[in-house]
Amino acid sequence: MTAPFDLTDDTVVVVIGTGAGGGVLANELAQKGISVVALEAGGRYLPEDYVNDEWESFGQLAWLDPRSTSGDWRVAKDFSGLPAWIVKAVGGTTTHWAGASLRFQDHEWKAASTYGNVQGANLLDWPIDPREMDDYYTKAENKLGVTRTGGREGLPGNNNYRVFEKGAKALGYEQVHTGRMAINSAETDGRAACQQTGFCFQGCKWGAKWSSAYTDIPAGEATGNLEVRENAHVARILHDDTGKVTGVEYFDKDGALQMQKARVVCVAGNSYESPRMLLNSASSMFPDGLANSSGQVGRNYMRHMTGSVYAVFDQPVKMWRGTTMAGIIQDESRHDPSRGFVGGYELETLALGLPFMAAFLDPGGWGREFTSALDSYENMAGMWIVGEDMPQETNRITLNTQTKDQYGLPVVNVHFDDHPNDVAMRNHAYKQGVAVYDAVGATRVFPTPPYPSTHNLGTNRMSENPRDGVVNKWGQTHDIANLFISDGSQFTTGAAENPTLTIVALAIRQADHLATEMSAGNL
Amino acid sequence: MAKAIHSMIRVVDEARSVEFYDKAFGLKVADRLDFTNFTLVYLSNAESSFELELTVNKGQTEAYELGNGYGHLAVSVDDLAAEHARFETEGLAPRKLVEFAPDGTLIARFFFVTDPDGYEIEVLERADRIQRTIREEVMNKTKSPKGLSRRQLLSRATAAGASFVVGAGFIAAPNGAWAVETSTLKPDTFATLVQMARDIYPHDKVGDEYYVMAVKGYDTAEAAEGIEAGIAALNAAAQGQGFDSYIGASWERDRVDILRGMEDSAFFQQIRGGLVTGLYNQKAVWPIFGYEGSSYEFGGYIERGFNDINWL
């Protein structure tokens, strides 16, 4: 029962993007009886379409439109045209995500106050009190079915976890478990329990992992209040001469330019596309792009401090079997400047298949040092490092006017330099990760550089003061009352935790706020 | 559960049948039991413990009646087209190679052959057929462009590193394990390219045919000019270090030194980058590394050892 709305219907809320932010927001609004048109650049893929094959899946789901890179991060050298590993499909990157669902720690909402002055970092406190988020986090955990919350059982540990856990315990780590995962440990609401298939990153064939593609989106459509338009690539957001946004221009599946009128526009296209849309919407009234009076649109791009540690043992591990990321060490996530950096990091189990291991273990590497590692692939264990990186004004998304996409629109350039705090934290994490595996008898270890980013944050950040950021505490842009940001680009700081749970909690919260404001006639 | 161990057929001429099954399928005599009135011969090979039992009744000179009930014995092979060609060369008179594709999707391919007593034998291509189909396209193990037999080809071969260049447009492994036709690249260039691929990503357990597949895509009109120039530069670099050619450097470390010297060149990076998917994304390579690939169709690992580690 998909609701069809007229292009000229100016009572609808237009949501751009259908991932963790947009997909959840669209459903939450539809459940409240609000009419929503969701514009999704990608097509619709469901569990029966996903494939247990890394490169084939990548071709099916990944956002492969051109982008460019600059800065000293290694991704700019190794994957210069592919700064991010994110998804272009209904459900966005919730098809690809691992499912790790962690709440921010209280102090991470107040990074500037907690960490003090960090040279070169553009730190700011979120304009949100941690206690405001408690109920929304609970709602998000229940929506996603997060294990180890709400009475839900944890997932069983796979081979990769068992190696990781044994090493962690040997080192004296205490907060070690199979994670808080948005992956069913028991069948729930018609979705299967995890079958330990692996390939979490390629879309869950069982639907055991939460993705908005087969949960929130169909639930919203079932209300009759939500229309999802697939293969609808947004070009720009339009406004009237009072400075209110009035609609969205997009290219439909045939490449024809369409315009959907709107009462409110919510942008949730990930931290690259969201600022890109604002910048590509520049007009004589807003020559620097929409909602950019602060000059902060595109700035403070964060990608989490990441890296991996793989290790080879003298006997098989078969790390690819089972849930990809059901394993975590949380002891290092605390803020403890005595380690030589502010903020903290998580260590989480991770496995890649042979094809992606060849691509990511040591990008550009060759010869026997490289191939002898792959010869031991069956005996490998792996973990991922994810920690808080420092927002920097110069780490930013800009329009690359030299390169156009298939619609003739300037693509983004992604500039990123590691902050010294990021480097110090990564080196600490490498050391600890290596120690975990050494404690289980690793014969060889590989501190592996960051992959193309999946956690893309900042670029339309939330601030108390309109001079410091793009949106207020509700994700409403400081400059334009009926223009909202609804994805991870509104993050003020990144925290150490995987961001999806917080994106979902903020979307639920934003839906409540929008409904209140709309019924009060303020929007 | 019961285990299938053998199937018995009655044959008229022991020597004739033993020769046929050896030549056709590499089945050798595993045991021979001679009795007063008859002889039992058990044939098998290393592929399987299953045996074909030949019963030879002494004094039987007339052909047996095979009737209309018995169907056939089936064997599977790695490379059906190659086997078919070999059967023809060996004079085994295989019937036409058939592709079974009821709705356009290839399900199986096979041919039939008849043994000296008239028993039918089906020869099927092994599983992983999609990958095999790709291999068929790039590899043509025995069919020579000039209609020579494999043995003739190999006798004419001249050494070129790990592979033999066998006249114009055709190279083969010295042991005949694989051979490939080139359409655009010079055979020497292609042989050097295969060696370069192996030196960039050396895996001693991975056969040359996978490296051949990984670089076969460069044998096109669009790519050939750049590849010929790149290989010429590689050979020039080798000559600069006192070798006849790149392949003329017998030690891997010498060849790797030559490669290091051109590591930043666009040519090197093109070949290396292409190998990352060209080599490691071949499904047939995965089992060599122990990687199991897609698991959904087997129900995941929940009952197949996701937590079976036993050495911790």
Give tens-digit pLDDT for B79-127: 888 899 999 888 898 988 877 665 555 667 788 899 999 998 988 886 5
Average pLDDT score, chain A: 97
C-alpha closest to that of B311 among A322, A166, A176, A329: A166
Kindly name the residue from B88, B120, B122, B136 that is annotated as catalytic. Answer: B122
* Unique residue bearing structure tokens 């010079």: B186
Q: Is B137 assigned a catalytic role?
A: no
From the CA atom positions of chain A, what is the Rg in Å?
Answer: 22
Question: Strand locations in A418-494, DSSP E?
Answer: 444-448, 483-485
Model pTM score:
0.82
Sheet holding B98-100, edge to edge: B72-77, B120-125, B108-114, B98-100
Tokens of residue A333, six digits: 């996530």
Where chain B has pLDDT below 50, the residues are 129-160
What pLDDT shows up at residue B106?
62
H or E element at residue A177:
strand A176-177
CB contacts, 8 Å: A358 with chain B: 276, 279-280
At CB < 8 A and 24+ separation, what contacts does A283-291 make?
A: A283/A239, A285/A239, A285/A241, A285/A243, A286/A239, A286/A243, A286/A479, A290/A237, A290/A239, A290/A245, A290/A477, A290/A479, A290/A480, A290/A483, A291/A460, A291/A470, A291/A471, A291/A477, A291/A478, A291/A479, A291/A480, A291/A483
Q: Give the C-alpha separation, A24 to A16, whole Å.
A: 12
What pLDDT shows up at residue A266?
98
C-alpha closest to that of A400 among A388, A414, A411, A392: A411
Read off the pLDDT of residues A23-50 as tens digits, 9 standing for 90 and up: 999 999 999 999 999 999 999 999 999 9
Mean pLDDT of A329-334: 98
User: Which of A166, A196, A354 is the closest to B289 by Cβ?
Assistant: A354
How long a stretch of residues is chain A?
A: 523
Q: CB contact, 8 Å: A359 with chain B? A: yes
Q: Where are the domains of chain B?
A: 6-125, 133-281
- Beta strand pairing call for B6-10 and B48-57: parallel
Burial (Cβ within 10 Å: 0-12, 13-18, ≥19) of residue B76: middle
Does B307 contact A195 at a Cβ distance shorter than 8 Å?
no
H or E element at residue A518:
helix A500-519
Q: What CATH class has B6-125?
A: alpha beta
Min CA distance, B261 vs chain A (Å)? 14
Read off the pLDDT of residues A228-245 as tens digits, 9 standing for 90 and up: 999 999 999 999 999 999
Q: Give the C-alpha separation, A173 to A437, whole Å.
A: 13
Query: What is the distance of C-alpha A412 from the center of its chain?
Result: 17
Read off the pLDDT of residues A371-392 as tens digits, 9 standing for 90 and up: 999 999 999 999 999 999 999 9
CB contacts, 8 Å: A317 with chain B: 309
* Unique residue bearing structure tokens 């391919």: B109
Tokens of residue A185, six digits: 């440990």
User: Which of A158, A354, A368 is the closest to B202 by Cβ?
Assistant: A368
H or E element at residue A427:
helix A420-438
Residue A382 CA neighbour count, 13 Å, CB half: 28
What pLDDT shows up at residue B171?
77
> Cα angle at A490 between A16 and A225, to 5 degrees?
30
- Phi/psi of residue A377, each to 5°? -50, -40
Share of chain A residues as helix, strand and coil, in percent rounded to the nearest 5: 30, 20, 50
Query: What is the distance of C-alpha B99 from the center of its chain?
Result: 19
**Sign, Cα dihedral of A398, A401, A402, A408:** positive
In sequence order, the 6+-apart residues with CB closer than 8 A to the CB of A114 are A107, A108, A335, A342
What pLDDT shows up at residue B141?
39
Q: Provide the 3-class DSSP secondary structure of residue A372.
A: helix
Burial (Cβ within 10 Å: 0-12, 13-18, ≥19) of residue A131: exposed
H or E element at residue A383:
strand A380-387
Read off the pLDDT of residues A119-129 as tens digits, 9 standing for 90 and up: 999 999 999 99
What pLDDT shows up at residue B161?
52
Q: In sequence order, what are the beta bridge partners of A13?
A: A36, A264
Min CA distance, B302 vs chain A (Å)? 5
Q: Give the C-alpha separation, A488 to A510, whole Å.
A: 13
